[in-house]
Amino acid sequence: MLQYRVGIFFGGATLAGAFSGLLAFGISFMSGTAGMLGWSWIFIIEGLATVVVGFVSFFILVDFPHTAEFLTPEERAWIVHRKKYDNSSVGEEEHFELRHIWETLLDWQVWLHILVYMSIIAPLYGISLFLPSIINGFGFSTAISQLLTVPPYVFASASSVLSTSSLYPSCPHASHIHIHVMRISAIQNNTAVTLLWWAVWSDKLKKRYPFVLAGLVYCLVGFAINISDVGIGAKYFGTFLIVAGAYAGFPGVVAWLGNNLAGHYKRGVGMALHIGIGNFGGAIASNIYRTQDAPRYIVGHGVELMFVGIGFIVLPIVVLSYKRINARRDAIMKEANEKGTKLTPEELRRLGDRAPDFRYTL
């Protein structure tokens, strides 16, 4: 259930993306209040909410399961036990050693996964930060552009729109605006449906790469549409694909490496490198949509397509490497069973994800 848990956590980002657009649309009408422009009020109000939530979270969030006071002692013990034996039949090492850092730095999979992370995080940052500007380039006003950022974040599929239409067949006297608002509300009921749907099936199938690949395909098609000279309607549809692909693919990227790093401390160091270095892709994406490139933003979309291309190159390398190593370990275990030679539980714990009984998640 790792990707499902990550998906629920990260699903908050898609909700934030949807509601921030609505909030920005409403707050923009405060322009002129106290002598400040609308964008200033957006920063003040939304920033203040972030500060308040951050302060409250300091007293609510817990560091580890065994310190969670909202759980009973039995529940805390069960969660600790489950996490300890989640990836290994012999448990994980409980004491930190300097070698955990060196083993992580020298692990090939960490660095390849960083590239996969960049291939998703760059589109995510780019579309998150510049979606209003991209839509504004379609010819809409600033306020309407903020409002039009909502539907891509909740990924309104054709079926959800059709089902919404069928919900209100007997409203002949309703205004067009009222119908539009009802449709937006119904779409919001499907918030993050793509993200959670992929997460559930990824955990069910015990495979990560197909869903990461699907996210890359969505981004590829979406950016390809937007870099072209097609109509506004097609380009707006392309933003749906980009948002859905980047946000739904991201939990799989994070969960995948987490599954394949065995040992509490190695996993901690590896995930820190994964996210810390990988976010440089986001830093690049935050500076590629230049004002002078509007309205097509060829440079921005082109760089995003480059990152997606890196993902298409690195992802098969990771999958094929995992398959080869798993097959080799199957042969080693078969030979060891025939000869009656086995490693001790302590040796297996020390080897972590390099142990012959460890299988990489694809």
**What pLDDT digit, counting tens, does each position of 78-133 carry?**
877 777 666 555 555 566 778 889 999 999 999 999 999 999 999 999 998 899 89
Residue 225: count other Cβ atoms within 10 Å of its Cβ. 19
Q: Judge whether 335 lies within some domain.
A: no
Q: Judge whether 196 lies within some domain.
A: yes
Residue 49: count other Cβ atoms within 10 Å of its Cβ. 11
Query: How far are the Cα atoms of 9, 155, 226, 279, 303 from residue 286, in angstroms, in the given order?
Result: 23, 23, 17, 11, 11
C-alpha count within 13 angstroms, C-beta hemisphere, residue 214: 18
Per the structure, how many domains does the chain have?
1
**What pLDDT digit, counting tens, does each position of 264-300 carry?**
888 889 999 999 999 999 999 999 999 999 889 999 9
Q: How much is the pTM? A: 0.79
Q: Judge whether 157 lies within some domain.
A: yes
Q: Judge whether 16 lies within some domain.
A: yes
Q: Judge whether 360 lies within some domain.
A: no
Note whether 226 and 134 are within 8 A (CB): yes
SS3 83: helix
Question: In this predicted structure, which of 6-20, 50-64, 173-187 has the lowest mean pLDDT?
Answer: 173-187
Q: Judge whether 77 lies within some domain.
A: yes
Q: How many residues does the chain have?
A: 362
Q: Judge whether 98 lies within some domain.
A: no
Q: Judge whether 268 lies within some domain.
A: no
- Complete DSSP assignment for 13-79: HHHHHHHHHHHHHHHGGGTTGGG--HHHHHHHHHHHHHHHHHHHHHHH--SSGGG-TTS-HHHHHHH
Residue numbers of the domain that contains 187: 2-88+109-258+273-310
Cis peptide before 152 (omega within 30 of 0): no
SS3 175: coil
Residue 149: count other Cβ atoms within 10 Å of its Cβ. 23
